[in-house]
Amino acid sequence: MLRTLSAPRPLYSLPIVILTTLSLTAQLHTATHPAKQPTSALKTASQTENVSPAPQTLLPDTFAGWQLTGTPEQSTQASAADAGDAVPLQEYGFIRYEAAKYTRDDGSLSVKAMDFGDATGAFGAFTFYRRPTMSDVDIGGGGAFDGTRVLFWSGTTLVDAKFEHITPMSAGELRDLVTQLPKPIGNQATLPTLPRYLPPQHLQSETLRYAIGPQSYRMSGGVLPPELVDFGRSAEAVTAEYNALGGIGTLTIINYPDSDIAVDRLHAIQAYFASHGSSQYPWTPALTNSNPAAILVRRSGPLLAVSSGSYTSGAANELLQRVHYEVVVTMGHEKQSVSDPRLVAQIILDVAFLVGIFALIAIVLGVFLSAGRAALQRARNKSGLPEDGSSEFIRLNLK
């Protein structure tokens, strides 16, 4: 008869159980009865929480020979930066504002700076404030000037500088200011990709406007009613004027998070256009003053392209056909279009090459293992073991 014997528990398990119990008891006591801190420590912690570190100033004390005079004006209210355009600034992600005056032997300079949450907001605000009469200037991420005023953006900051006497060196002096502005970190430096879809031919770049909210779109001269665009669905819109296409007009491109939303808005816009400006669905002044044949809409993926103005029907359709959505793969700061045939062919070749390598490895492993097994079998035969493979099993004759 067989007996089932249980192995004795080692003696050291008892201290472990005791220590574990004591540890759990101490943790429970700490959770239910937190330790009291000294009153002085509590006061110090409270004072530390109430004192937040001062943010980095937007504007430096000196740059390119310009010296700060007086105390800069600072505010976190968009109305302080621009009372009439506070709502659009908030849509762009306004954070704070700073204004300062600088002097030098040859005159004075007034600088206003606005800080936004990311480069998208700074770029959008730049397009909002830029006037078509301003000329391009290479400062920061982009700039424009009209003789005495220079407007530019860099990183998350929009700067508006007014010179008492502008000189050929003024642009270089502002580039020195750019090096001292706060630098964006991580995703803060990401720019919107929507303006890339504007066809470059015949584009009047000084008329480009980028909006991410209803007020910034409406106040930038948007062609469609903001409620029809439906910015509540995370829409973004870019508008620009084109010439030499059988007339002068505006191209509007709206981007939605996915194609389903774009299809829904496409149907809504088509119904709005079909109303022909009825009293129930009145058209905007931009559409009323347009050639009806030029008022067209086209969808490409999540993008909606709308044409308006004095174009002919053929010219408007040609402009819309140039708007083509492409899936963009982002790796770091480099972007490649998946719709590029050469890139697609290269990806297919790389995948085929990788599959071939794995297939070759599988074949080599199969041959190696088969040869090894055959060699092992021959070695056993030479040692006098049976060839039927019965030696591979151990038989126990238990009674």
* Average pLDDT, integer, range 144-154: 94
Which residue among 153, 188, 223 closes a domain?
188
Domain-embedded: residue 248 = yes
* Average pLDDT, integer, range 203-225: 95
pLDDT value at residue 354? 87
pLDDT value at residue 328? 57
Q: Are residues 265 and 331 in the same domain?
A: yes
Task: Phi first, then psi: give them for residue 396, nearest 5 degrees.
Answer: -110, 115
Domain-embedded: residue 301 = yes
Q: Are residues 178 and 201 in the same domain?
A: no
Q: Which residue has the tokens 């009865």?
A: 33
Integer angstrom CA distances of residue 200 from 197, 243, 251, 302: 9, 11, 12, 20
Burial profile 83-95: b = 16 or more Cβ within 10 angstroms, e = fewer = eebbbbbbbbbbb
Q: Are residues 140 and 199 in the same domain?
A: no
pLDDT at 177 over 60: yes
Q: Are residues 270 and 330 in the same domain?
A: yes
Residue 142 three-state SS: strand
Domain-embedded: residue 206 = yes
Which residue among 140, 162, 188 closes a domain?
188
pLDDT value at residue 25? 46
For residue 134 the two structure tokens come to 């301003």
Q: Are residues 107 and 151 in the same domain?
A: yes
Domain-embedded: residue 30 = no
* Average pLDDT, integer, range 235-254: 92
258 vs 163: CA distance, rounded Å: 46
pLDDT at 27 over 90: no
Domain-embedded: residue 284 = yes
User: What CATH number should be reported for the domain holding residue 106?
Assistant: 3.40.1000
Domain-embedded: residue 3 = no
Q: Are residues 360 and 325 in the same domain?
A: no
Segment 245-270, tens digit of pLDDT: 778 999 999 999 999 999 999 999 99
Give which of 321, 324, 259, 260 is closest to 296, Cα–Cα: 321
Q: For the purposes of burial, counting CB atoms within 10 Å of the CB of 310, is it exposed (0-12), middle (13-18) or buried (19 or more)? A: middle
Domain-embedded: residue 146 = yes
Q: Are residues 236 and 283 in the same domain?
A: yes
126 vs 161: CA distance, rounded Å: 13
Confidence band, pLDDT 50/70/90 cuts, at residue 344: low
Q: Are residues 293 and 198 in the same domain?
A: yes
On whether the pTM is more than 0.85, the answer is no
pLDDT value at residue 49? 45
Q: Which residues contact 35 (CB under 8 A, 6 or more apart)?
A: none
Q: Are residues 330 and 355 in the same domain?
A: no
Residue 110 three-state SS: strand
290 vs 202: CA distance, rounded Å: 19
The rounded percent of the chain whose pLDDT value lies above 90 is 59
Domain that holds residue 240: 194-335
Q: Which residues contact 387 (CB under 8 A, 6 or more apart)?
A: 381
Q: Are residues 364 and 300 in the same domain?
A: no
Which residue among 168, 188, 208 closes a domain?
188
pLDDT at 287 over 50: yes
Q: Are residues 329 and 354 in the same domain?
A: no
Number of compact structural domains in the chain: 3
pLDDT at 5 over 70: no
Domain-embedded: residue 285 = yes
Q: Are residues 230 and 161 in the same domain?
A: no
Angle at 17 between CA 13 and CA 18, to 5 degrees: 120
